[in-house]
Chains A and B, each alone.
Chain A
């Protein structure tokens, strides 16, 4: 599949979907932004205060920054996986009619989610500048972490998309797992409210490693744990390898079933 076609799909996803409405493509970004505002304004007061009472050190907006940093990354990840899972059935009409590469078809979801993430991040940066929170050179490493994260998300999504052709429950199952995963990852809460034994287990949660990496860069102004990122990268590549192996074996059947 060629780049112009991918871009065209992305465009459909972000803008054309809202054609006919006055705000048009802006709707793609309104939801994430409203969420961000809620987190910043509401949760900074309520949750932040609670966490301080529990003995955590927080300035007025620290918790908001902590939360939004994790939340933006999580949303990009979760949406990519969930939407990729259903991609072959969503686009069944196209797949059954024109020759289209099934491997690269989910790429446009990566692109869409990346664009939403990028725009959200820009708004986030503006907010940080407004509250005099330093935005420094560590931000330049965000794309690296994001690429590792989306590679992992794509690998998972691709795998699930293949399964979803054969087992329609996959989509629902993925929704449930993603929801559980969200609460198993310290995004709205902080790790040190949990017992040490549990904290150790987080080391194996790729999303914890990624979220922590973003926080290192944005919140703590320091380099992330390279070991952790390397492990996530490897895990992503292994899943991708498995998915590709499965795909090669099943492509004929996938096309037959669709």
Chain B
């Protein structure tokens, strides 16, 4: 169990470290304060995983360092049952000249293992790291992935009661990552507490039981991962908006401009931001303005994945709507789409044209006008790039027909 009570941490920022001594001698302040953490409290029960979300500089690293005892809080206290190990210290104290086995010992000792414990677990660490005979070679001959695998293998064998996992989890290839995840789940099932810090919103939703959101050192939200992720998205939305306007210049646009797309927006029905769960309905709103009298405007949009692959396209023509506008008139078009897509990042290109497709009389085409991210799956899980409407029927003896419908 991890319990944090009213943690405060202020960093005194000095121009140079010696100012701290001047302060003691002359008894007047030479610093300005930076509030890294203010009144942070939370509890992680045994077998529970708590996610911590926050922008860069929100206080996440400071909090982790205080939890692992590297930094001391100004106020408040931390109660931890048993040993706490962080994956932040992956590979701490590794000596590139020494072989893998010797580094297991050094690193293990730093993680608080005892020599007997290390020799007991050595074999299992080597097996987990999949280094094979390389374990007898100096670390400098390893690839960076191998070093991280070894580091992770040691950390996970340190048998802490509490585990602090951060971005470091994205170690190695998919196969190794899955192995790590399995191991972490097992650790949790046996009653270990986990604190998980990541920018991978999908992973937070999948792994965590609860999550908190830090912003400028304060806990601004606490609740289900779903709620926390939505709250977090609203915080980053500010930043995103700014970065989007920057990118607008790079956005490829073309067309006759007889009609124009003035603005575009995507909002998830639950998340109220452009990061939505798979299965959630998103509303895409386009404001269209005609620059001359047009009696047949088709409004279209196209979702592409991060590889630029067309995933799904729809337009007003396909949906049997048509739009006619006089010069200077504006209209707002809303598409409501159930985003049954796999987690990942997507872009939307939007277009105005006169007929069924944009090849003839294209008025305005904006490549990648919108960006959104699918994080987490609201409904039942699926594999692949999208969810297809599915229905399952089983006919077997002793089972009266069971029907499960999904989608």
Contacts and interface: CB of A to CB of B under 8 A. Distances in A.
A72 interface: no
7 contacts: A8-B105, A16-B95, A94-B92, A98-B70, A98-B93, A250-B20, A256-B11
B89 A98 contact: yes
A96 interface: yes
B12 to A, nearest CB: 7
A34 to B, nearest CB: 24
A29 B70 CA distance: 35
A157 B92 CA distance: 25
Interface in B56-107: 65, 68-72, 74, 88-89, 92-93, 95, 97-98, 102, 105-106
Contacts of B70: 95-99, 255
A19 B139 CA distance: 12
Q: 5 tightest CB-CB pairs across the interface, nearest first? A: A99-B69, A97-B89, A166-B17, A5-B109, A167-B18
A252 B74 contact: yes
Interface stretch (B110-118, B202-210, B327-335): B110-118
Contacts of A4: 109, 114-115
A165 interface: yes
Interface in A206-258: 249-253, 255-257
B172 interface: no
Given A94-B110, A166-B20, A168-B17, A19 B92 contact: no
A97 B20 CA distance: 23
Interface residues of B, number: 31
A24 B390 CA distance: 67
Interface of A: 2, 4-5, 8, 12, 16, 19-20, 93-100, 163, 165-168, 249-253, 255-257
Contacts of A250: 20
A238 to B, nearest CB: 19
B21 interface: yes
A96 B24 CA distance: 24
B223 interface: no
Given A98-B111, A251-B72, A252-B74, A257 B106 contact: no
B47 interface: no
Contacts of B89: 97-98
A211 B69 CA distance: 42
A168 B18 CA distance: 8
Contacts of B20: 166, 250, 253, 257
B14 to A, nearest CB: 8
Nearest to B11: A256
Given A2-B112, A8-B109, 13 more contacts: A2-B114, A5-B109, A16-B95, A19-B98, A97-B70, A97-B89, A98-B70, A98-B89, A98-B92, A166-B18, A249-B24, A252-B72, A255-B72
A254 B12 CA distance: 12
A160 to B, nearest CB: 13
Nearest to A100: B110
A163 B102 CA distance: 34
B338 to A, nearest CB: 46
A16 B102 contact: yes
Interface in B346-380: none
A97 B166 CA distance: 13
Given A252-B72, A256-B12, A12 B106 contact: yes
A8 B92 CA distance: 14
A97 B21 contact: no
Nearest to B36: A256
A166 B106 contact: no
B138 interface: yes
Nearest to B65: A96
Contacts of A253: 12, 20
Contact of B92 (A97, A163, A166): A97
Contacts of A165: 17
B12 A99 contact: no
A16 B72 contact: no
A167 B17 CA distance: 7
Contacts of B74: 252
Contacts of A163: 21
B71 to A, nearest CB: 5
A98 B18 CA distance: 25
Contact of B138 (A20, A93, A94): A20
Nearest to A6: B109
Given A94-B92, A166-B20, A167-B21, A19 B97 contact: yes
Contacts of A16: 95, 97-98, 102
A165 B93 CA distance: 21
Contacts of B18: 166-167
A20 B17 contact: no
A165 B17 CA distance: 7
A249 B106 CA distance: 31
Contacts of B21: 163, 166-167
